[in-house]
Structure formats: C-alpha cells, structure tokens
A and B are shown apart, each in its own frame.
Chain A
Amino acid sequence: GAVVSQHPSWVICKSGTSVKIECRSLDFQATTMFWYRQFPKQSLMLMATSNEGSKATYEQGVEKDKFLINHASLTLSTLTVTSAHPEDSSFYICSARERTSGSYEQFFGPGTRLTVL
C-alpha cells in the first residue's frame, strides 16, 4: 500500500519550454501533496504544499509563476515548470499524505529528473 507514482521519470527539454510532471497516489487518497527539489549531493528542499481543490502554498524563494502546481483531485497533483532554464535542472520529487490516516507520514514518488539544455 501507499504507493506514489510520478511521470515522467526523466525529461530533457530545451531552454524556454514548459514541462509538466504528474504525481499520483495509486492506492490511497492524498489530503496533501508536497513538491521537493534536490540538487546533486544536496538535501531535499520543500518547494510547495498543495491541498486538493485549493491553491498551493509556496516556500519562501520559490516563484509561484514559474512553478505552477495544480491539485485537481485527491489522487493527482501536477507541477509545471514554465519557461525552463538550465538552472532549473534538478531532481523533482513529490510526496503525499494519506487522507484518512491522520498521520504525518509522507510517501514519496520515485522522482523526475529534469535536464534543461
């Protein structure tokens, strides 16, 4: 149980294009989904928190117009990196909290490796 998927697992794009990453909870409903970014050999950095049906809350320093988050259902959240640039190249990971458990446990997706040329 508690499986989270992400798609795509890796993507290469040209500078200036937009990339959409999907995060799905496969066997549970997620109250809240979180988006992280991790640069090589660095720690996880929380980018934003999304709750189903409401606007995402972004961490300080994260541009909401550049990283668009949509949490349209209890099983799907998407992150769109708009007008991507090489400095956006990173490992993007989502996680989800189960709706009914009341627990703070987060289950992570496998991550999406983005390379912007």
Chain B
Amino acid sequence: QKEVEQNSGPLSVPEGAIASLNCTYSDRGSQSFFWYRQYSGKSPELIMSIYSNGDKEDGRFTAQLNKASQYVSLLIRDSQPSDSATYLCAVDGGSQGNLIFGKGTKLSVKP
C-alpha cells in the first residue's frame, strides 16, 4: 500500500514568519509531487508541482524535493492570515493513474 504521510497539525505560525510543511512518501519510484491548498469548505487548489531533486520557487512558495530521503516540503515565506488552510501533499503512483494524497496539514497564521 503506497502511502503519503503528513503531520496533521495544526501548525501555528505568526504573520510574516516562514511556515514549513513536510511530507514523506513510501514509493521510491514516484516521480511527480504536488502541493494542494484546501480552504475550509472548498475543494483543493494546486499550488506547486515538483519533479526534480532540489528547490522550486514560485512567489512566496518554495517546494523542496529529496528523492533519496523520500521527502517533500513546502515553505511559505512571509506567511499571511490568508494562507491559513489545509495543505495536501500528493504523489503519483496510484494504480489508476491517480495521485496518492496525504491527510493534510492544517496551517494557522496568526495576525
């Protein structure tokens, strides 16, 4: 059973701080990694994808991938209250071409 693990949180950070979200995955053959953001009562929204080892930056978001350690992370710089949401890590490898999702980490950014 392929798995994606995330700390459920809640992770609480003050406004302006860096939020660090972590994810580990079980399938060493996985090649595609995604971070989704889900606000309460809404559907998930894709915010980052990463395919190669190293860092990928997009605005205030940086995704980091370490395939040797089977570890993916998402850094959010200058966190804002509007970043408060649940962040889902997803990895390819489902038997139907689907993504395997972690249970999500709830982030709370305090003003």
* A interface list, Cβ under 8 A from B: 32, 34, 43-44, 46, 49, 57, 91, 93, 95, 97, 103-111
Contacts and interface: CB of A to CB of B under 8 A. Distances in A.
Contacts of B98: 32, 34, 46, 49, 106
Contacts of A107: 46
Nearest to B102: A43
B43 interface: yes
A32 B95 CA distance: 13
Contact of A44 (B44, B45, B46): B44
A52 to B, nearest CB: 13
A48 B11 CA distance: 31
Interface of B: 32, 34, 36, 41-46, 49, 88, 90, 92, 94, 96-99, 101-104
Nearest to A59: B96
Nearest to B51: A103
A46 B100 CA distance: 9
Contacts of B103: 43
A97 B4 CA distance: 20
Given A43-B103, A43-B104, A103-B32, A109 B97 contact: no
19 contacts: A32-B96, A43-B88, A43-B102, A44-B88, A46-B94, A46-B98, A49-B97, A91-B41, A93-B43, A93-B44, A104-B99, A105-B32, A105-B34, A105-B46, A106-B46, A106-B90, A107-B46, A108-B45, A108-B46
Contacts of B41: 91
A109 B34 CA distance: 17
B32 to A, nearest CB: 4
Nearest to A92: B43
